[in-house]
Structure 1
Amino acid sequence: MSAIAFLAPDPDGYALIDIRDSDSAQPLRAVFPVSREDFAQVVAQTEAELGPRWAMLRTTPWMQPLISAGVYLAKAHVLSLAQRIMHRSPMASGQLADFDLEHPVAAAGRIDQDALFDTPAFGESLADLIQLYAQQRGALPQDAVARKRLELLVHAESVGALIACEMEHAGLSWDESGHRALLREQLGQKVSDYARPPKLAAKAQELAIALQSPGLNPDSPQELLKALHKAGFAVRSARAWELEQISHPVIQQVLDYKKLSRLASAHGDTWLDQWVKNGRFHPHYVLGTVVSGRWAAYGGGALQLPHAIRQVVRTQPGRTFVVADGRQLEPRILAAISGDQQLQQAGQQDDLYQWLLDSKLVSTRQEAKLGMLSVIYGGGGGASGAVGAALTRSFPAAMRFVEQAAQAGQQGAGVRSFLGRGCPPADEQWMRAQRDTADEGSQRAADAAARARGRFTRNFVVQSTAAEWALVWMGHARHLIHQAGWGELCQQVFFVHDEIVFECPVERADQLKQLIQHAAMLAGRTLFGAASPRFPVSVAICSNYAEAK
């Protein structure tokens, strides 16, 4: 018998714990109150005795005191995250209201059983949580395979939320003095929040002269674009990715300024004062708000650390980073979800791109990479398009799979990931724009919108499943680390897309590397069974994060 333990606020104290059977929701013990002082100890004891799945509306406020006290929860069911998944999943057997993860303010009052399809007021009382859990269980698919997948997604997302809390608490080791030195070298002396640092101000002046635009504010996209046009550069925007296509000394000056300005605004002295404490960077990770299942971060730019900044991400003596990166992840995911046997065969190799080379489907590894990405993303002009066409002939099932997802998107339909995360159908405004095409201009706009949405859904089915694999990978790694008794020594400290950063003692790094690679294998089998493609993981052991790339 598996148990679920509900954590809810106690109106007369701190917390209430209600332990029930996971399937029937029948009580296994009487509800008992817990004081703030005894909370961590009681939860730890319950975890040791029953190993329940801990159900909570959100991780706040429960995880912070538990992590501070060193309490480990193996399993969780975060009801708010589960509600978003169940609301959007086309695999769910019943319609559930959405949960506002973007503005998670609990409304007063109880959930009304008779208003299941209305927007409920999600309270946090124990009765509310139990009712919400029962509704979510009731909306699981009847089909056993679909039910197992959707349950796995909810559980993986919930454990991911625990990992996010643990990473936020641990923080990422940061060389504050090195960061200050970098800022002084690149920007000059520290200035007020509203002034340009000296070296950045000098570059702004040089750029104004080069573009013959006195008084130019290069931080204004409109002013910069106007100055570029005046100087004879026929660009559509002043974005870096477009300017990088032009080889010209003045354009290089613009790019140099943008890079330095980004350093000053995104990772300057103010950022350092706000986000780095006692030699650790503590970002706040956010789950459930990105439709594909990828994580976001609130403040701090945690998911966008440029190489210049990574060089100040350093461990203390005796400690090291173990940086693990899923190799060629998306093509392997496509092989698994499409059932393309030829691509699955390629995915059994350590280097999928080398297999394509050896099979003479491509001439270079770069062609293999670009061609495969053109298959997945739907791009592909020029050489990459030709290679993509060759790969399409070799992997017809994979191509059909992503083409069907693209067609669904173009028609306004929704798609889903392997485990059941849903990409919602287009809204009524989009559908109306597709129908109301009375003239050539509106037809072109509708066609462009349809193609863009098709590219998005084409990529969604692969990218969202890759995000699921990464969640399960992290969950397995976390469990294995705990089982090995390394929880206090080895910690996950950073995560971005398909890259995980751990920190551990130098002498433990090789063992941790093997554990992480084993966790990647387990993640593939957990999602796709014994026929799973190989999911090799590149692992770098280094004391400086910049050396991992």
Structure 2
Amino acid sequence: MSAIAFLAADPDGYALIDLRDQLTGNSLQPVSSVSREELAGFVAETEARHSPRWAMLRTTPWMQPLAAAGVFLAKAYILSLAQRILHRSPLSTKPLDDFNLEQPTQGREWANQDALFSAPVTGESLAELIAMYLAQRDALPQEPDARRRLELLIHAESVGAVIACEMEEAGLPWDEAGHRALLREQLGERVSDYGRPPKLAAKAQQLAEALGSPGLNPDSPQEMLRALHKAGFAVGSVRAWELEQIKHPLITEVLEYKKLSRLASTHGDAWLDQWVENGRFHPHYVLGTVISGRWAASGGGALQLPHSIRQVVRAPAGSTFVVADGRQLEPRILAAISHDQQLQKAGQQDDLYQWLLDAKLVASRDEAKLGMLSVIYGGGGGASGSVGAALTRSFPTAMRFVEQAAQAGEQGGGVRSFLGRGCPPADEQWLQAQRATSDEASQRAADSAARARGRFTRNFVVQATAAEWALVWMGHARHLIHQAGWSRSCRQVFFVHDEIVFECPTELAGQLQELIRHAAMLAGRSLFGQASPRFPVSVAISGNYADAK
């Protein structure tokens, strides 16, 4: 018997927990009113006896005290995330309103499909929570494979949200003293939050003199661009990727200033004061707001840690990091979702790029990587374009797959990931711009917008599916760690795109890396079945995060 436990606010107390049979909906025990102090113990006991899927509107406020108490929930169903998925998915069979994940404290109203209540529901009360769940179940497709995919996506997204709360509670080990020493070395003594540190101020003055622009504010893109033009550099912007193409000592100085300025503004003393506590960085992860399914962070720059900062991410004595990331993930995902047999054959190899090199489809590994990414992302210029053309001839089924996704986007249509996450069709404003092409300028603008949308949808079908694989990979790794009895000692402490960072006792690191590799294999099979391509992962063991990259 499978059980589901609904966790909702108690209007007369703290929490209500309603345990039901997941198939019949029959109650398995009377609804329990639980105080804040009783919550962790009650949930842990229910988990041990019934192992239910825990259904809640959001992880807040429930997961914070549960994670702090070390309570392990094997399965979850976060209704707000499920609502966003079903609202956007073309596999959904009934229209559901969106949920405002961007402002989660503001409840949205939901029509009660069973007419159990006379008023619209928000999902905050127990009755409303159950009504929302029933509406979502009713919107799932009846076709078995489509239903399996959407359910897997909802369950993986929900467990991902639980993992995010666990990581936020655990925190990422951080050498605060080392970070302060780095700031003093790079920037000089601490100043007020509104002033430039001494070494940064000196560099600003040097740049102003070298560029012949007294009073230059190098943090202003407009001023810096004018100063570079005045000095004879014909650049279109001051973005780092563009400046890096120019080999000149003065441009090197500009880039060095930008690097130090970013360090001061994004990971300076004020950042340390706000985000690091007792030697651990506690970022807040956000799920469901990025259309492709990738995670975001609401503060602290968790998903954008520069290499210069990673050196202060250090495991405590007796512990180490096990850092794992999917190798050549997106080409393997493309092989699976397109059913291109030749690319699937390449994907069975441990090193897909080396296979392309051995097959003489490319002249170097760099060409293999750039060419494949050019195909996926829709690039077409330079050497990568010519290699992409060769790969297109070798993998026609895969290339047709991404081309069809691009064409759908160019025409204003929507696409979906393998499990069913939807990229909605273009909005009315975009469609009107496509129709309003009475002159050459408007036609050029419409064509440019169409190509941009085509590149986005072309990328979406691969990137969104890669994000799904990463979610399922994390879920399997977490389950295997719990089965091994390591939940308290081996903790996931960081995640970005397709990279997971675990902290564990040094003596368990070797076993943990094998478990992580096994979880990657299980993730492929969970999504794509026995015909799944190989999903090898690179694993590094180090007490310093920077050394593992």
The residue that corresponds to 1:155 in the other structure is 155
The residue that corresponds to 1:509 in the other structure is 509
3-state DSSP class of the match of 1:38?
A: helix
Cα distance in 2 for residues equivalent to 1:26 and 1:403: 48
The residue that corresponds to 1:8 in the other structure is 8
3-state DSSP class of the match of 2:72?
A: coil
The residue that corresponds to 1:475 in the other structure is 475
Deviation per residue, 1:283-328 (Å, 9 max, x gap): 0000000000000001100000000000000011111000001000
The residue that corresponds to 2:326 in the other structure is 326
The residue that corresponds to 1:535 in the other structure is 535
User: 1:192 Cα shift?
Assistant: 0.2
The residue that corresponds to 1:93 in the other structure is 93
Whichever residue aligns with residue 246 of structure 2, its letter is: I
3-state DSSP class of the match of 1:37?
A: helix
- 2:167–2:492 CA contact under 8 A, matched in 1: yes
Q: 1:402 to 1:109 in 2, by over 3 A?
A: closer
The residue that corresponds to 1:449 in the other structure is 449
Deviation per residue, 1:190-214 (Å, 9 max, x gap): 0000000000000000110111110
Cα distance in 2 for residues equivalent to 1:433 and 1:316: 56
Whichever residue aligns with residue 300 of structure 2, its letter is: G
Cα distance in 2 for residues equivalent to 1:225 and 1:429: 32
User: 1:106 Cα shift?
Assistant: 3.5
User: 1:240 Cα shift?
Assistant: 1.0
29-38 vs 364-373, which deviates more?
A: 29-38
The residue that corresponds to 2:433 in the other structure is 433
Q: Which runs of 5+ in 1 are unaligned?
A: none
Cα distance in 2 for residues equivalent to 1:406 and 1:160: 29
User: 1:401 Cα shift?
Assistant: 0.3
1:25-424 map, 5 Å:
25-107=25-107, 111-113=111-113, 122-424=122-424
Q: Which runs of 5+ in 2 are unaligned?
A: none
Cα distance in 2 for residues equivalent to 1:544 and 1:32: 46
User: 1:24 Cα shift?
Assistant: 3.5
User: 1:109 Cα shift?
Assistant: 7.6
User: Could you tell me the TM-score, scaled by structure 2's length?
Assistant: 0.98
User: 1:186 Cα shift?
Assistant: 0.1
Cα distance in 2 for residues equivalent to 1:331 and 1:253: 37
Q: 1:114 to 1:435 in 2, by over 3 A?
A: farther
User: 1:28 Cα shift?
Assistant: 2.4
User: 1:249 Cα shift?
Assistant: 1.4
Q: Return structure 1 stretches of 4+ with deviation > 4 angstroms.
A: 108-116
- 2:99–2:108 CA contact under 8 A, matched in 1: no
Cα distance in 1 for residues equivalent to 2:243 and 2:115: 54
3-state DSSP class of the match of 1:237?
A: coil
103-112 vs 438-447, which deviates more?
A: 103-112
Cα distance in 2 for residues equivalent to 1:96 and 1:237: 43
Deviation per residue, 1:99-158 (Å, 9 max, x gap): 000011234988554999xx9662400011000000000000111000000000000000
Deviation per residue, 1:239-296 (Å, 9 max, x gap): 1111111111111111111000000000000000100000000000000000000000
User: 1:27 Cα shift?
Assistant: 2.2
The residue that corresponds to 2:24 in the other structure is 24
User: 1:519 Cα shift?
Assistant: 0.2
Cα distance in 2 for residues equivalent to 1:223 and 1:358: 50
- 1:83–1:97 CA contact under 8 A, matched in 2: yes
- Aligned length, in residue pairs: 547
- 1:106–1:124 CA contact under 8 A, matched in 2: no
Cα distance in 1 for residues equivalent to 2:432 and 2:348: 45
Whichever residue aligns with residue 463 of structure 1, its letter is: Q
Cα distance in 1 for residues equivalent to 2:323 and 2:399: 32
CA RMSD of aligned residues (A): 1.4
Cα distance in 1 for residues equivalent to 2:123 and 2:74: 26
3-state DSSP class of the match of 1:288?
A: coil
User: 1:381 Cα shift?
Assistant: 1.0
- 1:492–1:500 CA contact under 8 A, matched in 2: yes
Whichever residue aligns with residue 296 of structure 1, its letter is: A
Cα distance in 2 for residues equivalent to 1:230 and 1:409: 41
Whichever residue aligns with residue 259 of structure 2, its letter is: K
Cα distance in 2 for residues equivalent to 1:43 and 1:503: 26
30-39 vs 511-520, which deviates more?
A: 30-39
Cα distance in 2 for residues equivalent to 1:298 and 1:211: 37
Whichever residue aligns with residue 242 of structure 1, its letter is: E
User: Could you tell me the TM-score, scaled by structure 1's length?
Assistant: 0.98
Identity %: 79
- 1:494–1:501 CA contact under 8 A, matched in 2: yes
3-state DSSP class of the match of 1:213?
A: coil
User: 1:67 Cα shift?
Assistant: 1.3
Cα distance in 2 for residues equivalent to 1:433 and 1:32: 56
Whichever residue aligns with residue 145 of structure 1, its letter is: D
Cα distance in 1 for residues equivalent to 2:510 and 2:356: 31
- 2:290–2:296 CA contact under 8 A, matched in 1: yes
Cα distance in 2 for residues equivalent to 1:273 and 1:43: 34
